[in-house]
Structure formats: C-alpha cells, structure tokens
C-alpha cells in the first residue's frame, strides 16, 4: 500500500515539466505568427497568372449576323498582387469580358473580318479593377464571318409520348400555341431549318385533357440562329372511347353494263373505336364498302374490300372479312 506522501508527490507536475510546456506553447505561437506574416508578405508581392473568362460580343451590324462559331471564353494573363489574384483564382463565377465588333478589321474575302484582342488591351483592361494589369490575351486573333440576316416562320413539331389510361385516347391532333416560330440568322443557316422540334416529354396514365409547356430542342443548327421563343404551349384533348361495330352491305364499283357480280358473303362487319359522346351519332349511312370490278385478277378468285367512306370520328378500324369470293354473271 502506497503512503500518502508518495501519492502526493507522484500527482504533482514538476517545475521542469511546466517550463517545457510553456516553451512549446510560446514556440508554437511564434511559429504561427511568423507563418502569418510570411503569407501576408508573399501575398503583397506581384505575380502573373492565366485565367479563363466568359466572353460576350457587342455592336454587331444590325443587318448582319455571324455565321461562324465564336469563342465562348478567352484566356487572359493578368498581373497583380497575390491578394487580388487570390480573389480571382477562388472566384467561382467569372465576370464576363466584352469584345467590341467595331474593333474588327477587313480580310480580303468578302464579309470576313478579324479582331486582335491584344491590340485593344486598354479597352479590355478598362473592364477590370485598376489594380489588375493585363499582360496578354489568348487567342490572339478572333475571326468573324458575317452573312446577310434572314428571317422566316417554321412549323413546330411536338415530341410527346403519351401512355393513356384504359379506354382513353386522344380525341384530335395536338394543338400548339404558337404552331410556327420565327428563326433569324444567316441566310444559309436559316434555309437549312425546315421545322423546329420540342424536347421529348413522356406522359403516363393520361385520362383527361391537359395543357403543358414544351421546351424547344436547341439542336446544333438552332444554336447558330435566333429563335423568337424557346417554349410553346400544347393542349391535348383526351376523351373516353368505346368499341362498336356495324354491318354493311357490299357494293360493286366499275361493273360493266350487262354484268352482275355477287359476293360471298354479301355483307361485312366493321369494328371501330369511337368516343362515348359520339357513339349515338354513328349510323350505317356514314359508311360505304365496295369491291372494285377493275381489280379482278384472272388467277385470283377473291376481291379485297375497300372502305371508301366512313366517319372522321372513328379510329382503329377493322374489317371482317377483308376479302370475299365472287361470281360474275352476264
């Protein structure tokens, strides 16, 4: 068993240990302060770095358009103190640099120009803080190919994939507002565009009329021209359908005088889908089924049934039978 005296001595830190701990704390403090001042001194010096900036072009001729793809970004070598450069380096969103098309110069080829950004460093530098000095800009040459501006209306095609609920169908064509959009740009580019498509959208279990906004699909061709609007409204009329059937007599077309033609059977059944609200309005008088005498083939004893008249409100039409045998008498 330890004596109380021994216990007190073992738990009490020595004076030497306390002195060592103080020295470590003092050393660490001095080290941190030194590092801080070293960083501050380093950041106060001037450095050069290269940074990528988004670019926008201004002052194009009103009656002309650019027919080539211009650089969306430029690399600028800037010089300043470490403090200022650090801000630019860590900045997530870069400020847009504007390049003036009025600074362009003619090339021998008609409607072809070029800009030398480094020749107008003063104009670009004016867009930066006074503490920033621009050393060089890349690329050193930007080419502009002008073309005469042209506008035209093009139709819009809706890309909609619809999965209807049971017994429901689209009652008519999709109604787009607007169904034509104006595109403007270089003549050669505008002439290539015959129509504009929307982005594909999928609709599931549709059982009622709906209206939705569709986004224009910016294809590579459309990215080089101006589009009057980027969305259109689509209305899809949906109604409940039912299956119905009707029996029709077969008539004969193009039968020569003095001849008779009898078919077996002499009637057909027409099955179709129709909207519930139109079910009662469908009558046999709205249909006409024929066989055509002029279509008779010597080696074939059957004629194909043709449904030459039927209501526009019906769909998914099926005829039974599709062909019939026949006898000709004079």
Please, which residues bridge with residue 304 across strands? 323
Q: What is the rounded CA–CA span in Å between residue 305 and residue 292?
A: 8
Question: If you write DSSP's letter for every residue of 192-221 in order, what string do you get?
Answer: T---EEBPPEEEEEE-S-EEEEEEB---TT
Q: Quick one: tokens of 39? A: 């960083």
Instruction: Give ranges for CATH 2.170.120.30 in the chain.
Output: 243-329
pTM of the model: 0.56
CA distances to 2, 94, 141, 237, 299 from 9, rounded to whole Å, are 11, 66, 82, 94, 126
Lookup result for tokens 């240990």? 17
Of 248, 264, 328, which Cα lies nearest the Cα of 293?
328
Give every residue of the chain whose pLDDT is below 70, as ranges.
Answer: 1-20, 23-27, 29-31, 33-45, 47, 82-84, 86-94
Q: Selecting from 1.10.390, 2.170.120, 2.10.240, 3.90.75, what CATH number does the domain 46-140 have? A: 2.170.120
pLDDT, residue 6, reads: 45
Q: Selecting from 2.40.50.100, 2.170.120.30, 3.30.70.100, 3.30.9.40, what CATH number does the domain 243-329 have? A: 2.170.120.30
Peptide bond preceding 265 in cis form (omega within 30 of 0) = yes
150-236 is classed in which CATH architecture?
A: Beta Complex (2.170)
Residues in the chain: 330
């Amino acid at each position: 068993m330890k004596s109380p005296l021994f216990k007190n001595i073992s738990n009490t830190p020595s004076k030497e240990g306390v002195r060592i701990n103080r020295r470590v704390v003092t050393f660490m403090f001095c080290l941190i302060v030194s590092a801080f001042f070293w960083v501050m001194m380093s950041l106060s010096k001037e450095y050069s770095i290269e940074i990528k900036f988004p670019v926008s072009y201004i002052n194009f001729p009103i009656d002309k358009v650019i027919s080539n793809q211009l650089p969306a970004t430029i690399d600028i070598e800037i010089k300043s103190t470490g403090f200022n450069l650090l801000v630019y380096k860590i900045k997530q969103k870069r400020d847009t640099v504007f390049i003036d098309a009025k600074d362009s110069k003619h090339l021998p080829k008609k409607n072809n120009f070029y800009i030398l950004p480094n020749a107008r460093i003063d104009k670009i530098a004016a867009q930066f803080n006074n503490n920033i000095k621009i050393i060089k800009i890349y690329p050193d040459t930007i080419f502009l190919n002008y073309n005469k501006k042209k506008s035209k209306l093009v139709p819009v095609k809706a890309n909609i994939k619809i999965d209807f609920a049971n017994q429901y169908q689209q009652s008519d064509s999709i109604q787009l507002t607007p169904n034509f959009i104006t595109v403007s740009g270089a003549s050669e580019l505008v002439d290539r565009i015959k129509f504009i498509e929307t982005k594909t959208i999928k609709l599931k279990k549709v059982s009622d009329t709906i209206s939705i906004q569709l986004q224009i699909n910016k294809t590579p061709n459309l990215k080089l021209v101006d589009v009057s609007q980027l969305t259109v409204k689509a209305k899809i009329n949906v109604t409940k359908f039912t299956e119905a059937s009707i029996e029709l007599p077969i008539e004969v077309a193009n039968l020569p005088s003095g001849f008779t033609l009898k078919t077996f059977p002499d009637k057909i059944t027409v099955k179709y889908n129709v909207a519930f609200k139109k079910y009662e309005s469908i009558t046999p008088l709205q249909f006409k089924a024929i066989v055509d005498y002029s279509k008779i083939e010597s080696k074939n004893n059957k004629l194909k049934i043709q449904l030459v008249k039927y209501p526009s409100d019906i769909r998914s039409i099926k005829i039974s039978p599709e062909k019939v045998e026949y006898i000709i008498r004079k």
